[in-house]
């Protein structure tokens, strides 16, 4: 019993649960469309979409159709898109040179959306080399397959600048290299991109929940080895606080915990400890489990979806990257 709370029957906590209007009045956390960031996958072609088998209900979209999704997001009140390219195999290389191409899929999509909608919607861009490397790692590797931290930083800063020049509003480094936030922040400042935000993937774990995403961006078949030398050990929480503290000190405007649902404790700790917005990525595996579970009759699809999204808010999230963004926003409009 909470200290100072009168005992039953003077206190009946069910009183406020009796009616819908009363439950609404005392609700502690509320989910809104403005809490959602919608991840979208880009592919080559015109008027072309490709359903992703391992992500039911999610497709890759050609650049012209990404604009349609952006208009849909604006109509639904979703404030920001997160873009991820499915780079063609022949454009991938060991040095990830395509990441610096000012006319790559990512940059073309940024420009087209911004030309069409301007500041009506924000664009968040992923900074990591795995969509562009032939080996599927997030950075440049040495002869033994080890991802080299400092050599990778030079590529990441150039990639971030390339995206900012195209019109990105939020740069989101997901590579987990040490020192990348400071390097990107300094580069953006020198290039006069003073208002481009950095949302750092600060606590990104070496998770088993990423499989469908790697299918979506075409890196699953290319990946050689694993990412445990730079992504975090799922057993560690204190280390996540150190990672977040370092990224804030280096210039991050906000931080992200990825995956989200399996790491609500990390989100809660980060929100309690740091005075910056904390975001969660409800990753592809978490999304797919809801889809397959609902299809198998585990529970009602929309109820499962909304309960999980509210859990992120309860843990302290300022917002959530989720493939459910459009579906959830439509429900919230009802």
Residue 215: its pLDDT value, please? Answer: 84
Question: Using one digit for the tens of pLDDT, what is the confidence trace for 165-201?
Answer: 999 999 999 999 999 999 999 999 999 999 999 999 9
Give all strands (DSSP E) within 97-236, no chain letters: 122-127, 170-173, 197-204
DSSP state at residue 205: B
Question: Using one digit for the tens of pLDDT, what is the confidence trace for 118-167?
Answer: 999 999 999 999 999 999 999 999 999 999 999 999 999 999 999 999 99
How far does CA 80 lie from the centroid of its chain?
11
Whole-prediction pTM:
0.95
Residues 6 or more apart whose CB falls under 8 angstroms from that of 85 comprise 41, 42, 43, 104, 105, 106, 109, 131, 217
From 114, 227, 228, 258, active-site residue: 258
Contact 207, 153 (CB under 8 A): no
From 114, 120, 158, 204, active-site residue: 204
Contact 26, 16 (CB under 8 A): yes
Burial, 264: exposed, middle or buried (Cβ in 10 Å; 0-12, 13-18, 19+)?
Answer: middle
- The answer to whether residue 224 is catalytic is no
- The answer to whether residue 313 is catalytic is no
Does the bond joining 259 to the residue before it have cis omega, within 30 degrees of 0?
yes
What is the full DSSP assignment across 46-63? SS-EEE-TTSTT-EEEEH
DSSP state at residue 55: S
Give ∠ CA 109-114-119 in degrees, rounded to 5: 140
Tokens found for residue 53: 């088998």
């Amino acid at each position: 019993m909470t200290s100072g709370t009168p005992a039953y029957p003077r206190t009946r906590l069910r009183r406020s649960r009796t009616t819908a209007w009363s439950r609404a009045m005392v609700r502690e956390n509320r989910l809104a469309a403005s809490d959602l960031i919608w991840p979208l996958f880009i592919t080559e072609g015109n008027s072309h979409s490709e359903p992703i088998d391992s992500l039911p209900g999610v497709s890759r979209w050609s650049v012209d159709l990404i604009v349609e999704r952006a208009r849909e997001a604006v109509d639904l009140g979703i404030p920001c898109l997160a873009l991820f390219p499915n780079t063609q195999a022949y454009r991938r290389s060991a040095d990830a040179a395509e990441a610096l191409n000012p006319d790559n899929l990512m940059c073309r999509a940024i420009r087209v959306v911004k030309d069409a909608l301007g500041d009506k919607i924000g664009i968040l861009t992923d900074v990591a080399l795995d969509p562009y490397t032939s080996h599927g790692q997030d950075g440049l590797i040495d002869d033994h397959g080890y991802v080299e931290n400092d050599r990778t930083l030079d590529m990441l800063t150039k990639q971030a600048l390339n995206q900012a020049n195209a019109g990105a509003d939020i740069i989101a480094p997901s590579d987990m290299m040490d020192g990348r936030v400071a390097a990107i922040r300094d580069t953006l400042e020198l290039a006069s991109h003073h208002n481009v935000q950095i949302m750092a993937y600060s606590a990104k774990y070496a998770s088993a929940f990423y499989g469908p995403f790697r299918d979506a961006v075409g890196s699953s078949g290319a990946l050689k080895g694993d990412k445990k030398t730079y992504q975090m050990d799922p057993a560690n929480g204190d280390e996540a606080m150190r990672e977040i503290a370092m990224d804030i000190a280096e210039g991050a405007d906000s931080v992200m915990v990825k995956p989200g649902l399996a790491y609500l404790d990390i989100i809660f700790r980060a929100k309690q400890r740091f005075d910056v917005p904390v975001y969660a990525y409800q990753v592809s595996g978490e999304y797919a489990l809801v889809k397959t579970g609902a299809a198998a009759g585990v529970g009602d699809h929309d109820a499962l979806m909304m309960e999980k999204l509210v859990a992120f808010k309860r843990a302290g999230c300022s917002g959530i990257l989720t493939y459910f963004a459009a579906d959830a926003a439509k429900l919230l409009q009802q």
